[in-house]
Amino acid sequence: MKSNNARTGAKRGPAAPVHAGMTIQTAEPLRLSKEQRQGIENCVPRIAKLLPKLGLNKPTLNNGEGYISSIRNGETGKVDKLIHLLRDYGDSGEAAARELADIVDPEGKRYLPFSTQEDCGDTGSEDQGPDSVDEERSPLPEPTGSQTAGVSGIVPTPVEDIRTGEPFKDLFPITPRIRSGIAKRMQADGYDLAQPLVVWQEENILLDGHTRLSAAAESGIKMVPVVLKSFPDEDTALEYAIGAQCSRRNLTDSEIIHLLEKWDSRHSRGGDRRSPEAKSKASHAALGRSAAQTATLMGISTTKVEKGRSILDSKDTALQNAVKSGMTSINKASKKTRAAKREEKRRSDDKPKPTVKDSNMYKLSVRSWNPFVGCGFDCTYCGPSFQQQAKRRKQDCQQCYEYKPHEHPERLDNSLPTTGFCQFIFTCDMGDISFCPDEHLERIVKRIRQESDRTFLIQSKAPATFMRVKKWPRNVILGTTIETNRDDLCADVSTAPPPSKRFKDLLAVDHPVKMITLEPLMSFDVDILASWVEKIHPRMVWLGYQNHGDDLPAPPLERVRELHWRLSQLHIPVVLKSIPTGDKQG
């Protein structure tokens, strides 16, 4: 029988298929000769004594006999597992593992040497016994079964041969504290084979594992496991490197802004990336690659990408540096950029205003009827519209002026006009009935029932409130406002329930006639918003941009047009409101 050291005598090529101790996973049983089977029988008594210590003598394993039988039959998985378990159990276990490996793999094709020197050269005399262990540290630590499961194509590579460089080297700056911690673990336990470095095969440059490589060098480790990956170009390799890093960490805002800047600098200008003219036309918010695709790559929300790009597009370098250094968050910085944008707009009254189509959203409303007034959702865009209208009545009602939720029972008996086809009486449009007490709401519904020849519209940003009425009259249209499908965007402008909840609550309301107001539109995802509308299937949809001010993250006009087309395909009437004739950036 050949000794372990005899098998390590010849040098192996640099691209060995497996590293020291690693096995090739296969379902096929080992093909054992008569001599090999006899050798296994000679090993069985020695192995049987070690099974209890390895926890393999459980009743479920027939007190160890099941494992012995599997080894005799050359079952690949059981042999592999046993060799790995034995080698981790002291000198006696390692000797048994070596003996078994020599029997089933005498040429060393399946199991590489247990102990190798850095140059994989001659390790000594062939007369050295099988129980003798080379005391010199292996360049790669011995793996356990969990470290090697499913791993293949790993190449042991000298640390000094691995090249680093841009744009991969500085994607995530190495943190000294983290590197020091990894180095200490490597000094104690060796390199973790479950975390090989990833190298771009064509360019021989490190893509993933810069901190681990630095820690290995600091620990004095000479050889590290490397996986070679092939990529057609640098952009594809960079996309892989970003995805690999982002998939295993929670990105900080400073890391996000750093990544966005690096990624967008390569993708924002197509072929011409150098000329000043091309650079002046490009912006982070108008990239070839969409925010949704970038968000998927980085493992963050689309909204976070858009906010980060708005910061990078701003002229406030101090604010950008504050985010990059971790002194402020992307959300806070985004609010400041929006505030700066509003201020800049106020100072630019001489600039031509965009032409809009009809700005009166409720032309179909023949009258506004407000037996209840006020709202507590504090929507920022309501100030210049509904709240401003309410303030005109200060001489009549102080609570209306303050827009506090309150009742006007005297208006329950108001004379109401008739309504024609597609016309309605907009009820409680100066507030939100979710703040209306139950008793007063019942009185409003009672009056509506009495006017069965008239149509009424009631909207709420908390459509769950409609559930308070057991059965609404059929001459009522129930609706809600959905500005976007992205809940985090609305959290910045309103305390109302998030859009996703409004959608679910209106969908759950058992009423045949519903409507949806998609206004003021903020950044949204066409597929999601269109699917929400399709499921609710309203009788009509109002669609438009912000009517007063310009402080919301507005979507591009092309995206709004696509949504309009999708809704038209569903045969849902769409009333356009505040749609600019020129494109809108966002």
Which domains occur in the chain, in start order? 4-142 (no CATH), 159-346 (no CATH), 365-577 (3.20.20.70)
Neighbour tally for 507: CB within 10 Å:
13
**Predicted TM-score (pTM) of this structure:** 0.44
What pLDDT does residue 386 have?
A: 52
8-state DSSP, 485: S
Extract the tokens encoding 524: 């949204």
Q: How far apart are the C-alpha atoms of 381 and 393, rounded to whole Å?
A: 20
- SS3 of 208, please? strand
> Are 207 and 198 within 8 A, CB to CB?
yes
pLDDT, tens digit, for every residue of 20-72? 333 333 345 677 788 888 888 888 887 877 777 666 655 544 555 677 777 77
Question: For residue 314, what pLDDT is reported?
Answer: 83
Residue 271 DSSP class: T
Q: 375-389, 417-431, 435-449, 568-582: which range is least confident on average? A: 375-389
Each residue's pLDDT tens digit, 500-520: 999 999 999 999 999 999 999
Specify the pLDDT at position 292: 78
CA angle at 501 for the pair 497 and 506, rounded to the nearest 5°: 110
117 falls in which pLDDT band (50, 70, 90)? very low
pLDDT at site 301: 83
Confidence of residue 235 (pLDDT cuts 50, 70, 90): confident
Could you read off the pLDDT of 201-214 as tens digits, one per residue? 888 889 888 888 98
What's residue 44's pLDDT? 81
Specify which residues 427 forms β-bridges with: 369, 458
Range 324-340 average pLDDT: 85
Is pLDDT of 300 > 90? no
Return d(Cα 275, Cα 547) in angstroms, integer: 38
Counting residues of the chain whose pLDDT is more than 70, the rounded percentage is: 70
What pLDDT is recorded for position 295?
77
Task: Assign 87 a pLDDT band (cuts: 50, 70, 90).
Answer: low
Q: Is 365 left (phi over 0), alpha (psi -120 to 50) or beta?
A: beta
Query: What does the pLDDT read at residue 427?
Result: 96
Position 556 scores a pLDDT of: 92
- The sign one gets for the Cα dihedral 398, 400, 402, 407 is positive
Structure tokens at 351: 């600039």
From CA 425, how far away is CA 476, in angstroms rounded?
Answer: 9
Does residue 176 have a cis bond before it (omega within 30 degrees)? no
> What does DSSP say about strands 154-158 and 223-229: parallel, antiparallel, or unpaired?
antiparallel
Q: How distant is the alpha carbon of residue 447 from its chain centre?
A: 50
pLDDT at 543: 93
For residues 223 and 185, is the Cβ–Cβ distance under 8 A? no
pLDDT tens, position by position, 155-187? 888 888 888 888 888 777 777 888 888 888 888
Q: What is the mean pLDDT of residues 208-222?
A: 88
Flag the least confident range among 133-147, 373-387, 513-527: 133-147
Judge contact between 191 and 218, C-beta under 8 A: no
Residue 358 has pLDDT above 60, yes or no: no
Range in 52-61, 152-161, 370-379, 545-554 the model is least confident about: 52-61
CA neighbor of 525 nearest in space, from 245, 303, 230 = 303
515: which 2 tokens?
């409507």
Q: Which residue has 């058992």 as its token pair?
A: 510
Q: To the nearest whole percent, how much of the chain has pLDDT over 90?
A: 27
Q: In this predicted structure, what is the pLDDT of residue 161?
A: 86
pLDDT at 437: 96
Can you tell me the mean pLDDT for 82-99? 70
CA dist 41 and 51 (Å) reads 15
Distance CA 441, CA 437 (A): 6
Taking residues 353-359, report their average pLDDT: 38
Over residues 83-110, mean pLDDT: 70
